[in-house]
Amino acid sequence: MRAHDRTGAYNRRLEDTGPPPEASHTRGNDVLSRHQIRTLVHHHGHDILAHERMQIQRDCYQHGIVTTYAHSIRVACLAVYFADRLRLWHRVDLRSLIRAALLHDYFLYDWHRWDNGEHRLHGFTHGGRALANAMEDFELNHIECDSIANHMFPLTPRPPRYIEGYLVTMADKISATHETVSLERFRKAELTATRKDVR
């Protein structure tokens, strides 16, 4: 399998959320399966995933070889996983959690590009940019707004106000670390060049 094929398959695997659920998930003693989590993410975030501007994220790398689109789905799935395993359903708004996670990096640019230094403070500023973009395209509640704006704590001075925000922040940090230390990231230049050739 060629390099760009492997990269495309990897990101498509992260993006494949499956069909909408036919019934609500159980919050009893059973834990959610990976497929159930992906189904929930698709159900509550299908309009976000299909939005025209969200498609920009498919062409922007977030960490290593992982696109921002795929990273956002991973964060949403991991946030739901933590809520489920920690038995937080009596305290968590599932829809707000998923939508905040999908939009937490909705800044719509590739922060690795120089752009005359505009993105030098990306780690400190992109939460605000993501929130501004998200508010232009979607109706957000106070949980979603706060979770998006403050997901980079402690790089941003204010911590999240809601448990959904802490779940998004934790999922983001874990996902980012995994994506950054992956050995595949050292092949990014090769994979990027291959993608350009294919186009």
Beta-bridged to residue 66, according to DSSP, are 63
pTM: 0.73
Q: Which amino acid is at 33?
A: S
- Residue-number span of the structural domain to which 77 is assigned: 3-198
C-beta neighbour count of 134 within 10 angstroms:
25
Residue 24: the pLDDT is: 45
In the chain, the percentage of residues whose pLDDT exceeds 90 is 45
C-beta neighbour count of 198 within 10 angstroms:
10
Pick 196 or 170 by higher pLDDT. 170
The runs of H, that is alpha helices, within 86-187 are 94-103, 122-137, 142-149, 163-181
Q: Can you tell me the distance from the alpha carbon of 106 to that of 129, in angstroms, rounded to the nearest whole number?
A: 8
Q: Can you tell me the distance from the alpha carbon of 89 to that of 29, in angstroms, rounded to the nearest whole number?
A: 12
- CATH code for the domain of 57: 1.10.3210
Residue 62: the pLDDT is: 62
* pLDDT tier at 171, thresholds 50, 70, 90: very high
Residue 157: the pLDDT is: 77
Residue 47: the pLDDT is: 97
Q: Quick: pLDDT tens for 9-59.
A: 444 444 444 444 433 444 456 899 999 999 999 999 999 999 999 998 888
* pLDDT tier at 158, thresholds 50, 70, 90: confident
Asked whether residue 146 carries a pLDDT value surpassing 70, the answer given is yes
**Domain tally, the chain:** 1
Residue 65: the pLDDT is: 74
- Mean predicted lDDT score pLDDT of the chain: 77
Q: Quick: pLDDT tens for 49-81.
A: 999 999 988 887 765 677 889 999 999 999 999
